[in-house]
Amino acid sequence: MKILVACEFSGIVRDAFLAKGHHVISCDLLDTEKPGPHIKGDVKRILSLFKWDLLIAHPPCTHLAVSGARWFENKIKEQIDALKFVQFLLDAPIDKIALENPVSIISSKIRKPDQIIQPWQFGCGETKKTCLWLKGLPKLKPTDVVCGRMPRIHMESPSPERWKNRSRTYEGIAKAMAEQWGN
């Protein structure tokens, strides 16, 4: 399969699909943290480079996540732009699409997610509610339900790297995506 992992700098989802033998490229406005097939640039341009079989998109949640609701009234234009970008990704001419974001205004402004997952369903004893909007894909099945459910990411102290740490996909979730959607 030809797979594009959009808005991913970490390489975690990309590498899970690479391990399964797929042709996969990550793209982001940032450089990748791990060596591998990655294009630094705007996904809008990259979408037209190939006929993709699967798009997994992680659009920035800065102006969308309900965790930042107290600032919503000051970022109306940014939210409109962010929602247009989400809709652009969901409307991409690709048969299989998964769009990932935390609980956000996507649910009320575009549509409700098809599924909400947690890291503890995929081998990591943490909580981080993650919504999936799916097209042409089945819901992810939990692979390894574990105890010890801590909100580590939510409790992380403010720092310049906090947003990056909060945006990385858990490896167990990435592995489940590759195993269950990589057909």
Query: What is the structure's pLDDT at 157?
Result: 63
Q: Whole-angstrom Cα distance, residue 51 to residue 93?
A: 9
Distance of alpha carbon 5 from the chain centroid: 8
Q: What confidence tens digit (pLDDT) does each residue in 173-183 have?
A: 999 999 999 98
Considering the entire predicted model, what is its pTM?
A: 0.90
Beta strands, E only, 119-166: 130-135
Query: What is the structure's pLDDT at 3?
Result: 98
Query: What is the structure's pLDDT at 57?
Result: 97
